[in-house]
Copies of this chain bind each other. A is one copy, B any other.
Amino acid sequence: MLFLKRFYNKLFPKDREFVNKLSHLVGFVPANESIYKQAFLHSSLSGDVTMNNERLEYLGDAILDSVISEVLFSRFPKKPEGFLTETRAKIVSRKKLGRIARAIGIQELLSHNNIVITGSSSILGNALEALIGAIYLDAGFKAARNFVIKKMIVPHIDLSKIANTELNYKSRIVEWSQKNNALIKFRIISEQDFKTHRIFKTELSVNEKHISIGEGPNKKSAENAACRLAIEKLKITDN
């Protein structure tokens, strides 16, 4: 049934230009054009939530998270949960998604709806998430997963590189402590030896008060992990 609908759509699309561009982008002929049109409709063009792309973005965001989670889970079989969560956050950051959306050519479909492309990467990134939601509804999880892996990750994301760029949380904590006249201290609380690796646990205290414990394969990375938690806990922002 779905196959027939796809076939029919291929022969007689209601909006041939849109369907052509879309099929090229997603790698298959969509069965239900209208849901994709919704994915590209920014809320500034329709406040009606059943028409614009906000709901689809919400759905696509969750599907994207699942696929990225699975990809990182298999790509880094020995890494702890904290590493996977952090790497996922780097990939699905607004900035990164906006860049991927642009590289994929989302703007061509947005402009189809006469949106003035302001160059806002968040509009593009959101539309990309909404597109993933639309693919999921139109063609199922496997199709959405395929799209994320083949069109987003493989051509545009260097997983090893992202994984290795450790965000420097320690420098942020140091900067914050100077600004706030706070005394920060690190203390190694344990060093475990496993067959293949070691795990350091380090405590971070501020003004002699326990704040967080981080772990990692070396002192530096354990300290950094403690700082990451402290930033969350103390709600330290960049501004």
Interface residues of A (CB under 8 A from B): 47-50, 54-55, 57-59, 61-63, 65-66, 68-70, 73, 77-81, 84-85, 136, 141-142, 145, 192, 194, 199, 235, 237
Contacts and interface: CB of A to CB of B under 8 A. Distances in A.
B58 A85 contact: yes
Contacts of A50: 77-78
Contacts of A49: 78-81
Given A65-B66, A66-B65, A81-B54, A59 B47 contact: no
Copies in the complex: 2
Contacts of A78: 49-50
| Majority DSSP secondary structure for residues of A touching B | helix
Nearest to A133: B73
Contacts of A70: 59, 62, 136
21 contacts: A47-B192, A47-B194, A48-B194, A50-B78, A54-B80, A55-B73, A55-B79, A55-B80, A55-B81, A58-B73, A58-B81, A58-B84, A58-B85, A59-B69, A59-B70, A62-B62, A62-B69, A65-B66, A70-B136, A141-B141, A141-B142
